[in-house]
Amino acid sequence: MDTDLSSQDRKDLDKFIKFFALKTVQVIVQARLGEKICTRSSSSPTGSDWFNLAIKDIPEVTHEAKKALAGQLPAVGRSMCVEISLKTSEGDSMELEIWCLEMNEKCDKEIKVSYTVYNRLSLLLKSLLAITRVTPAYRLSRKQGHEYVILYRIYFGEVQLSGLGEGFQTVRVGTVGTPVGTITLSCAYRINLAFMSTRQFERTPPIMGIIIDHFVDRPYPSSSPMHPCNYRAGEDNGAVYPSVEDSQEVCTTSFSTSPPSQLLGPGKEGGVPPVPSQPAHGTQADQERMCTPLDGVHYSAATPSSSEDTETVSNSSEGKSGSPHDLLETIFIRKVGAFVNKPINQVNPPDSPETESPLQGSLHSEGSSGSSTGNTHDDFVMIDFKPAFSKDDILPMDLGTFYREFQNPPQLSSLSIDIGAQSMAEDLDSLPEKLAVHEKNVKEFDAFVETLQ
C-alpha cells in the first residue's frame, strides 16, 4: 500500500529499481563480452557510480535496456529478462541462459528505502558479478570469436524458458525486500550443451541476430533484436546513444548515520554524470538523436576490406617465379598501379615496343602473377628491369650490357690500317695547297707568336 510509503521514498525506490535494472543488464552483458573486466576503486564518491560500484555503462546496452523497459519497472508478472545465446558461424543458434529480474508481492514495509534497500541492491549487484562468472556460459563467452559469438537480447514481460532445453538449472542470485515487493534476481541456464548437429533446429520464432561479420539488423516485429556481446568500449561509436537524460538520475551518495535517515542527495540541476565511454555531447542534443540500428561503423574487428588487400598482395607475390628482383618489382608495380591511374606510355619508352609496360600488363590481367617467364602467354608479359639508379630513363640499359660494352670497346677508326693508308696519300696531295694558304696568313701567325712571348 502506498500510504505507508512517503512519496519521496516511493520516488527513490522507483529510481533505485530502475537503475538497478540497468546496471544488472550492464553486468550481465559485460560478463559475456569475452574479455576480462576491470574497473577502478575510487575513494572519493562520484555522482555517477550507482550502488557504490564501478560498473561501466555501455551506451548501446543501456539504450537497449531502456527500450525494452519502455519506461516501466519490473513488477509482478512483468519481469525484465536478459537472454544470452550462442550463434555459430554457420548460423545455428542456441539459448544458453536467461537472467530474470522479477518482482513478487511479498512486501517488507519496515525496511528503509534510502539506506537498507540501497545497500542490499548493491550487495545483490556484487553477487551478480560473482555469479556471472560461474555459469557455463562464461567460459563459452571467453572463447568466442571465429567459430561462434555470444548474443544478448533484452525483453520485458513473461519469462520464456522453453529455449533452454531439458533439464536446465536455476541459480538464485539473491533477493531484496522492498515496501512494494521483493526483487528477485535469478538465472536459468542450459546444461545440455550438445549442439545442433544432434537435434533438429527449429526456427520458431526466429531470433534476429547480428552476426559479427555482417552487422545487418533485421528487426522482427515480435521479438527484439539480438546483439553481439563483443562491444569494445574503447572504440568510437558511429551511432550516439542518448546519455542519461534525466537530470534526476544522479545517484545518491550521501547517507546518514542517524535513523530515520534523511536522504541528502547532491544537487540535481544539470547533474548529468559523466560516462567515460560517451562522446562529449550535451544531453539536449542527445535527446533528439534517433537511435540508429547497429551497423558496421563501430565494429572494426575483422574488417573484410583490409584482409582482402593483404590477400591480393600476397597472392600476387606468391605467383612469382624467378629472382627476388622480380618479386620486389612486382610488388612495387602493384602498389603503383593501385594509386596511379594514368596511361603507361609515359613511363615506358615508345622505342621499345616489344616490351609491354608492366602496369598495363597487370591492369589487363587482374590478379595475375605478372612476372615473365619468357613465353607469349596472355597472362605473362615481359617486364623490363629498370635498375634503381639508372639515370637514363629513355634508354634503359641493363647493367650487364653496359659492362660488356665497356669491356669490349670498338676499335678507333683511325687506327685501322686500311683507312690509314688511304688518308696518307690524300694528305700528301693536298700539302702544297695548304702551304700556300699558310703563307698568306704569315702575319697572323707572327702576331700570335708575339703574344706568346
As a three-state string, the secondary structure of 375-405 is: CCCCCCCCCCCCCCCCCCCCCCCCHHHHHHH
Residue 191, interface with another protein (CB under 8 A)?
no
Q: Note whether 175 binds another protein by CB under 8 A.
A: yes
Number of residues that bind another protein (CB under 8 A): 43
Nearest distance, CB of residue 1 and another protein, angstroms: 23
Within residues 50-69, the interface with another protein by CB under 8 A covers 52-54
Query: CA 415, CA 9: separation in Å to the nearest integer?
Result: 119
Map residue 308 onto helix, strand or coil. helix
Q: Please report whether residue 130 would count as binding another protein according to CB under 8 A.
A: yes
DSSP 441: T
Residue 124 as a binder of another protein (CB under 8 A): the answer is: yes
Query: Does residue 254 belong to the site contacting another protein (CB under 8 A)?
Result: yes
User: DSSP letters along 411-435, please?
Assistant: PPGGGSHHHHHHHHHHHHHHHHHHH
Of 137-145, 152-160, 192-200, 233-241, the segment contacting another protein by CB under 8 A is 137-145
Q: How far is the CB of 55 from another protein (least distance, A)?
A: 8
DSSP state of 89: T
Q: Examine residue 49 and tell whether it contacts another protein (CB under 8 A).
A: yes
Under rule CB under 8 A, residue 268 binds another protein: no
Task: State in angstroms the smallest separation of the CB of 150 from another protein.
Answer: 15
126, 298, 320, 386: which one binds another protein (CB under 8 A): 126
**41 vs 310, which CB is nearer to another protein?**
41
The 10 Å CB-count burial string (b at 16+, else e) for 120-140 is bbbebbbebbebbeebebbeb
- Closest CA relative to residue 69, chosen from 101, 30, 117, 114: 101
Assess 41 for contact with another protein (CB under 8 A): yes
- Binding of residue 300 to another protein (CB under 8 A): no
Among 109, 139, 214, 377, binds another protein (CB under 8 A): 139
395: Cβ–Cβ under 8 A, 6 or more apart, which residues? 349, 351
- Is residue 61 within a helix (H) or strand (E), and if so which, with residue range? helix 59-69
Q: Does 233 bind another protein (CB under 8 A)?
A: no
* Distance, CA of 211 to CA of 151 (rounded, Å): 9
Which region, judged by CB under 8 A, interacts with another protein, from 69-77, 131-139, 196-204, 221-229?
A: 131-139
Binding region for another protein (CB under 8 A): 36-46, 49, 52-54, 115, 120, 123-124, 126-127, 129-131, 133-135, 138-139, 142, 171-176, 253-258, 264
